[in-house]
Amino acid sequence: MTPRAVRWFAINPTRRLFAVSSVALLGLAACKEQQRPPRPAPVVSTMTVTKGPLPFVVNANGEIEPNRTVAVQSLVSGMLTRVAIAEGDEVGQGQVLFQIDPRPFRAELDRLQSTLARDQVTLVRARGDSARFAALAKDGYVTRQQLDQTFAEASALAATVAAGQASLERARLDLENTTIKAPISGRTGQITLRVGSLVRAQADPPLLTINELQPVLVRFTVPEQAFEEMRRRSGLDKALSVSIVPNVGDTVRKITGTLTFIDNAVDRATGTVLLKARVPNADRSLWPGQFVSVGLELTVDQDAITVPSEAVVTTTNGAFVYVVEGGKAKRMVVKVGRPAGTLVKLDSGLVGGEQVIIEGQNRLQDGAKVELRSALSKGRPSGASRGAKDSSRKQGAAR
């Protein structure tokens, strides 16, 4: 401060007091301006903790296969003269599918019948000669050698007749096999041969394949750990319920079936166990080769406490959730059990009915004040109303 200013303050004590007060007020105002406004309470979303029955379901990927499938082949060789069905037809058991030219087989049958008739007449005569030689041998009119010879001829003719009968039966069966019938009911696939083609007995590929579609089987595997859980909870003799959801198309409607097959060994290569379930498939919604999602229901846990999985915060020291009590977030240590879709079962920590925070908990601390998103949305005007109010203000200012 200059000497002149010092003399001025010394001569004017009142002005000096006013200047000092002004400087102090300006400093106080500057301090107030530097203070920050209080932080708003974090906005969170909540959901009520539920308590009730919770099914224990093992989920897996499965594939549909027919309950029965048959590759239709011809048992005889010949020319195909008739195809009685079309590709993709529904056929019943015993329905005629193909016809092979029967004339060569009928001719062979007639020839064997004639040969058998001749051998039967010869056998009757040989047996009569044997009876006469036996009577003459008692009186010594024929030798023992002659008697044995007649008996041997009769026995040989009897064997010939038996062989002829067997050949005749085989020829009759071959003639029947020229008409190929459906061994099971189901839906036919692609036909590999047409009329005029030469069919060979038991040739590959088969004439067609028939799949039984009512019912169908669902083939799936479960991990060894899930299999042990199934044995512990339900055993291996109980008929368990299986739910099937197609991976494409109608993924909302669930189809139910019954577990019917459990493999007798664990696959060491994959560490899984093969299971099969039978589904009635009355509406033909499932098709062989189709991939589906399978849920095997083991048991139902009664009075299970469940929360959304996003509500659980996992740390190295354990897991916890935040619940809202009196407008504040309260940290609750929980023990997490098994998952159940988008939910998770809690073995301890909550009793049900609490309001658990499912969104915004990463910004919270124990005891922090919170504001519910639903209450916030009710207190604020909508976007349309805010726009209308702003517009009315502008119009009033313009007027």
Rounded to two decimals, what is the model's pTM?
0.65
Do both 280 and 164 map to the same domain? no
Do both 161 and 141 map to the same domain? yes
Strands 371-372 and 43-48: parallel
Residue 397 has a pLDDT of: 42
Whether residue 275 is contained in a domain is answered as: yes
Whether residue 6 is contained in a domain is answered as: no
The owner of tokens 């504001």 is 371
Q: Domain with 123 in it: what CATH number? A: 1.10.287
Cα 63 from Cα 246, distance rounded (Å):
10
CB-based contact 34:347 (threshold 8 Å): no
Whether residue 34 is contained in a domain is answered as: no
Do both 173 and 227 map to the same domain? no
Give the tokens for residue 219.
């083939």
Tens-place pLDDT, residues 234-256: 766 677 889 998 887 655 677 89
| Domain membership of residue 193 as a residue range | 78-98+180-212
Last residue of a domain, one of 301, 331, 361: 301
Do both 230 and 252 map to the same domain? yes
Whether residue 365 is contained in a domain is answered as: yes
Do both 201 and 90 map to the same domain? yes
10 Å CB burial of residue 110 (0-12, 13-18, 19+) is exposed
Do both 253 and 233 map to the same domain? yes
Do both 117 and 141 map to the same domain? yes
Q: Domain with 239 in it: what CATH number? A: 2.40.30.170
Whether residue 33 is contained in a domain is answered as: no
Do both 115 and 165 map to the same domain? yes
Do both 308 and 358 map to the same domain? yes
Whether residue 268 is contained in a domain is answered as: yes
Residue 42 has a pLDDT of: 78
CB-based contact 222:273 (threshold 8 Å): yes
The owner of tokens 């010939």 is 160
Whether residue 3 is contained in a domain is answered as: no
- Number of structural domains (the chain) is 4
Query: Is the pLDDT reported for residue 387 higher than 50?
Result: no
Tens-place pLDDT, residues 176-229: 999 999 999 999 999 999 999 999 998 888 999 999 999 999 999 999 888 888
Q: Domain with 85 in it: what CATH number? A: 2.40.50.100
Do both 87 and 184 map to the same domain? yes
Whether residue 30 is contained in a domain is answered as: no
User: What count of other Cβ atoms lies within 10 Å of the Cβ of residue 61?
Assistant: 11
Considering the chain, what percentage of its residues have pLDDT values greater than 70?
A: 82
